[in-house]
Amino acid sequence: MSSHQHIIDDAKAQLEKLGDELNELDQKMKSAGAKAEAWSTEQMHRLRADWHECQAYVERLSAQSDASFEQAKSETERHWKALEAAVRTYREQVQNNAA
């Protein structure tokens, strides 16, 4: 397996894992009450949009030539880090509201 394919496969696996966590967090917030659910719905919409954007970046990686792969990889990593930070903040809010 090429190193590019390995990077792409790892990114897809991480993205899938994060998507699963978003599903779990969404379910916890739905059980936390109406006020929490309204906030959660708005946040989840934003997170899903960011998740789909990261997914598109990962898909673009597989179409890149060797010359442009590193630049595309850097852009993907930048978006990934932003998405991770947003999910981390959301996770903390869910834990505070569910407690």
Helix (H) or strand (E) holding 2: none
In-domain check, residue 26: no
Query: Is pLDDT above 70 for 98?
Result: no
The number of folded domains in the chain is 1
pLDDT at 20: 92
Classify residue 35: in a domain, yes or no.
no
pLDDT at 23 > cutoff 80 = yes
Selected residue with higher pLDDT from 15 and 63:
15
Predicted pLDDT of residue 81 = 92
Residue 48: strand, helix, or coil: helix
> Containing domain of residue 46, as a range?
1-6+40-99
Q: Which amino acid is at 81?
A: K
| Rounded Cα–Cα distance for residues 11 and 5 (Å) | 10
| Whole-prediction pTM | 0.69
Decide if 84 is inside a domain: yes
